[in-house]
Structure 1
Amino acid sequence: MKKTALILSLLAASTSGAWAQSSVTMYGIVDAGVRYISNSGTAPGTGALWQVVPGGMSQSRLGFNITEDMGGGLKAIANLEHRLNSDTGTVAAADFWRQSWVGLQSSDFGRITVGRQYNVLFDIYTSTYASFKYSPYIEAYKPEIGLSMGARQDNMVKYLFEANGFRGSVQVSAGEGNSNNKSMGGLLRYQAGEFSVGGAYLEVTDLASLKVKGATVGAAWTSGPWYVNASWAQNKFDKGTVLAGAYTAGLVGSGVLNASANDVDTRDMFAVGLTYQLTPQINLGTHYWRASQTHYVSGPNKSNGDYFAAVADYAFSKRTDAYAEFDYTKFSDGYVKFANGAEHRYGATVGIRHRF
């Protein structure tokens, strides 16, 4: 018996180095701010709203990254990420895990992941021509994300590869017979020193075989303290698709874009932004978006919206920063309005964010 125990212990010691090394990293963001919004009453020109928002620059979250190094350049990877409302401690969305995927990553063959993930439109925006260098977008005011078609897809299989400055990705989501979530799309980006350029295409099909098609291209340039970016994006809706309500809801002021009647035909957005790092602690940024859309039935044939934001961010440390943000929205055709009938609105947010 003693000999058997000794042999087993020696075997365990001699093979322990061959086992894969794994790690679990917990990460998160806690962000809260005080926000002012004009024109929030029951009638145009009335009512100012003050509120504590659960994330002025970033949505608060708690996540886990899992990595297992299996040797030979192969790793098992997984991610679970939960979004939360820091002002109330409640769940930020119906889906508890905003990301939940598992996959394999090879140093030679790229990465494949399966589960609920960011889609290729969101990936290209945030990785290649994000609105602000120090934060991909403003959580409290993000018109560009309104064209990312929900930002995530369920039931997704995604493949990603990188080589010689190029990054490519392909996604496919199964509708599984009872879901308006069947998708296919891809992205391609190129990074050369200070310059990056890329584009993506995504197509989502509902149960009636009606589609929403999204596309975007853009570029960014970084030199010293300067960061400049420009982009174009488009969503094209088949008439009557049930996806119109969900995908038009992401744009600022879109509560009255007649989503219930599925009236939006095509939406385009052009955007340009500038960020300047004044000091190692202070970042300044501005961004302008111009959106236009055509309609199948209601209102004039074309409606327009102009969006502007400016941000000042002060970094106390690598993990903690404070920010002040100002934004302005203007609709110009008399059809697209806020829920109270107003055609313009000012907003401002001050807050603090900590990353861990």
Structure 2
Amino acid sequence: MKKATLVLGLLAASTSAAWAQSSVTMYGIVDAAARYSSNANPGGAKKQLSNSGMSQSRLGININEDMGGGLRAIANLEHRLSLDTGTTAASSPAGVFWFQSWVGLASNDFGIVTLGRQYNILFDLNASTFSSYKYSTYIDQYKPELGMTLNNRQDNMVKYKFIAGPITGELQVSAGENSAVDKSAGGALKYSDGAWAFGGGYLETEGATAATSAGKKVKGTMLGGAYSSGPIYINLSWMKNKFDAGANVLAATYAAGFLNGQSMGPLYTGAAVPLTSSQSRDMIMFGGTYQLTTQINLGAEYYHMEHKVDQTGAKYKSDYLSFVADYAFSKRTDAYFEADRTNLKNGETYLTTGYTRRYNAMLGLRHRF
């Protein structure tokens, strides 16, 4: 009897030890803001409770299993939601519930391989190296830079990441599976030594079917850097999108609304040039964040974009400016005030309103867990 009890005890101990090497962690953000937008529709200004402010509300699960020998199994599932209505985020592509859904292996010696729907290498480079705001990466309700990252995520992706001291590299590829804007290939490289960080990346995406301009490509290039020391953070970057002639759906997709439902780099002119006419667009972004006290962070960012149209070869310009003041109640909860301005030049207008200028402001509350 004593022997049986001893064996059972050892089995229980070994089972507990095995389970202790695995972890499943739930995380999330809940963020809502009262937002005012001038010239938001043909009737004028718009007032709303936005379903996100600085961050998009989300709920996610991280999975990590230590398999020994420096090898881990990892996985992630992440859903985005509209906090004001409790529904799936309005920005979700048709049929998409999980904004991220991937599984992978991480090795201390050979790097990380992940498979599934996940952030692309341009988004990773921007967010980790020269993001517009140090403590929030970007403003969810006003993010011109994300209009340049070729959709932020790609389906059916295989991504490889390696870290060698201060150098990090990433490669991605996704083969066409007869779905929209599905093919992709690219890579990024960055250097970070604590105070300085800089890097560059290149990504191509290609239409997979006739409905998505089969064989037509959009090419994204990104270069930038940042300096961080004590309370000071400064960033500078350049981004370019190049569209193949006739890349109809692709051009429309990558011009989609990142500025509160409006066109990011408005592709409409007085001559009624359609969405499908993009040839290229270039953006320069710079700004910084200053930690005034342990609780108060102030930041500002300026964006300048030039957009070239196929039919005429004419260039259209637009300027974007944002400001944020953030107050941290704790490590997880903060309140913020944000204001921004969009100024369209050379005949471009907002698609749905015909206006050339817009001002926005919001006051919000965010909790991270």
Letter in 1 for 2:267: L
1: CA distance, partners of 2:121 / 2:46: 35
2: CA distance, partners of 1:13 / 1:86: 43
* Partner of residue 241, structure 2: 235
* Partner of residue 308, structure 2: 294
1: CA distance, partners of 2:299 / 2:234: 10
Question: 5 Å matches for 1:260-299?
Answer: 261-297=275-311
Offset of 1:245 from its aligned partner?
1.0
* Partner of residue 211, structure 2: none
* Partner of residue 221, structure 2: 215
Q: Deviations over 1:237-273 (max 9, x none)?
A: 1111121111111453427515964100001000101
Offset of 1:338 from its aligned partner?
4.3
Q: Say if 1:187 and 1:118 are closer, same or farther in 2 by CA, change over 3 A.
A: same
Pick from 328, 334, 347: which aligns with 1:334? 347
Q: Deviations over 1:296-339 (max 9, x none)?
A: 126x6111110000000000000000000010000111134342
1: CA distance, partners of 2:68 / 2:116: 24
Q: Say if 1:11 and 1:193 are closer, same or farther in 2 by CA, change over 3 A.
A: closer
* Partner of residue 135, structure 2: 134
* Partner of residue 40, structure 1: 40
Pick from 38, 48, 55: which aligns with 1:51? 48
Q: Say if 1:10 and 1:337 are closer, same or farther in 2 by CA, change over 3 A.
A: closer
Offset of 1:178 from its aligned partner?
4.3
Question: 5 Å matches for 1:107-256?
Answer: 107-207=108-208, 208-241=214-247, 242-252=249-259, 253-254=262-263
The SS at the match of 1:335 is coil
Letter in 2 for 1:236: K
Give the length in aligned residue pairs. 351
Q: Structure 2: 5+ residue runs without aligned partners? A: 209-213
* Partner of residue 28, structure 2: 28
1:19 is the counterpart of 2:18: yes
Offset of 1:180 from its aligned partner?
2.7
The SS at the match of 1:40 is strand
Q: Is the CA contact 1:25–1:65 (under 8 Å) kept in the aligned structure 2? A: yes
Offset of 1:13 from its aligned partner?
4.9
Offset of 1:3 from its aligned partner?
11
1: CA distance, partners of 2:274 / 2:189: 34
Q: Say if 1:100 and 1:135 are closer, same or farther in 2 by CA, change over 3 A.
A: same
TM-score (norm 2): 0.90
1: CA distance, partners of 2:204 / 2:166: 26
Offset of 1:193 from its aligned partner?
2.7
The SS at the match of 2:131 is coil
Q: Structure 1: 5+ residue runs without aligned partners? A: none
2: CA distance, partners of 1:60 / 1:205: 30
2: CA distance, partners of 1:317 / 1:206: 46
1: CA distance, partners of 2:179 / 2:335: 45
Q: Is the CA contact 1:143–1:250 (under 8 Å) kept in the aligned structure 2? A: no
* Partner of residue 322, structure 1: 335
1: CA distance, partners of 2:245 / 2:80: 33
Letter in 1 for 2:347: G
1: CA distance, partners of 2:13 / 2:366: 48
2: CA distance, partners of 1:102 / 1:17: 24
Offset of 1:293 from its aligned partner?
0.9
Offset of 1:177 from its aligned partner?
3.9
The SS at the match of 2:348 is coil
Which stretch shows the higher mean deviation, 66-75 or 173-182?
173-182
The SS at the match of 1:134 is coil
Letter in 2 for 1:289: Y
Q: Alignment identity in percent?
A: 54
Letter in 1 for 2:341: Y
Q: Say if 1:250 and 1:125 are closer, same or farther in 2 by CA, change over 3 A.
A: farther
* Partner of residue 257, structure 1: 267
Which stretch shows the higher mean deviation, 33-42 or 262-271?
33-42
* Partner of residue 86, structure 1: 83
TM-score (norm 1): 0.93
2: CA distance, partners of 1:315 / 1:7: 53
Which stretch shows the higher mean deviation, 92-101 or 335-344?
335-344
